[in-house]
Amino acid sequence: MLSSDSATFRTREERHGPDASSLLVDCPDSRPFAVAPPASDAAGWSGATAAVLTDQFESVAGRLSAILDSIPVDERSRPSARRIRTLALECAAALGRLREGMTLVVGERDGLERELTEARVQRARALMDAQDSQAGELDARHQALHDDLTALPNRRHCRERLAQALGIAASRHTLAGLLYLDLDGFKEINDRHGHATGDAVLRIVAARLDRALRAGDVACRLGGDEFACLPAGPLSGPQLARLARKLIDAVSAPLMVNGVQLRVRPSIGVAIFPTHADNAEALFRVADAAMYRAKQQRTGFAFGERAD
């Protein structure tokens, strides 16, 4: 700050926009004049203000030059002229320092604003990458647990679901069932009409199983022409027998593929936890053996037998 005999600077609030202010420059023998941010600069001393300040400082320098030109040059007034010249030069020097300081501050603020903008962009990209990664993981898990051809849960998913069902049944001391299906006549269709027709038959069978089951029941494709059904909740032997007959009727109905009427019939093995086995692997083996027995005896379905 200059002395009271020198040019002084002060700020005052002038509503050029929110938080904006102007800088008043008081010089001796001259009306105070303002150096202010443009009205469009709502943030005050920021952004493009540096360029406007430069123009205004040049205008101030012009006014100071006019002051110097007005100084009298006769001998009697020479001391006063020197004093006025000194004050004017001090005012100009102070303006120069102010311009340099403001330019530095504005430059630093612009740099911080650029860094903040870049940080926001990077954060948005990181969020998008995280969402894409999560979606990719979910998609990969879905593919790992589902059959590509029929979109049914695959063997791995079936075993996981069965293990969960047996855990719940064991904790509640209730029953849990497993139905193991194999399609009779499918190999002949595949050999005679080709794999494309065979794939179409498998998709139709998968859809029929899914529609025939109750809400909460799960149909799975184990591979080839083998399927499994996991009934939801505890079912007794007679209830499982009724479900097996329902599935046989649904799958055995004639089906049409490429204008050709075809027919397949399932053989089903039924196993009950803990009656026939006390773990998922053993229950699968019991149901598989019962399915082959039903196929050999042409009974449609058969219940498993406990292996001691």
Per-residue model confidence as pLDDT tens for the chain (308 residues): 333 344 444 433 333 444 444 444 444 444 454 444 444 444 444 445 555 555 566 666 666 666 666 655 555 666 666 676 676 667 767 767 777 777 777 777 777 788 878 877 777 777 777 776 666 665 666 577 889 999 999 999 999 999 999 999 999 999 999 999 999 999 999 999 999 999 999 999 999 999 999 889 999 999 999 999 999 988 999 999 999 999 999 999 999 998 999 999 999 999 999 999 999 999 999 999 999 999 999 999 999 998 76
Q: Which of 93, 88, 103 is nearest to 29 (CA)?
A: 88
Task: Give the C-alpha separation, 242 to 303, whole Å.
Answer: 12
Helix ranges restricted to H, the chain: 49-69, 78-145, 155-172, 186-193, 195-212, 237-252, 280-297
Q: Where in the chain is the domain with CATH 3.30.70.270?
A: 155-303
Catalytic residues: 225
Instruction: For residue 219, list its beta bridge partners.
Output: 229
> 89 and 27 in contact (C-beta within 8 Å)?
no
> 2 and 8 in contact (C-beta within 8 Å)?
yes
**Residue 246: C-alpha distances to residues 71, 266, 279, 300 (Å):** 115, 11, 26, 11
Q: Which of 142, 57, 156 is nearest to 101 (CA)?
A: 57
Q: For the chain, how far is it from start to end, CA to CA, in angstroms?
A: 102
| pLDDT at 14 (0 to 100) | 39
Q: At what angle do helices 237-252 and 195-212 cross, to 10 degrees?
A: 140
Task: Give the C-alpha separation, 176 to 236, whole Å.
Answer: 9
> 261 and 255 in contact (C-beta within 8 Å)?
yes
Going across the sheet that includes 218-223, the strands are 218-223, 226-230, 176-184, 265-273, 301-303
| pLDDT at 284 (0 to 100) | 96
Domain 155-303's class? alpha beta
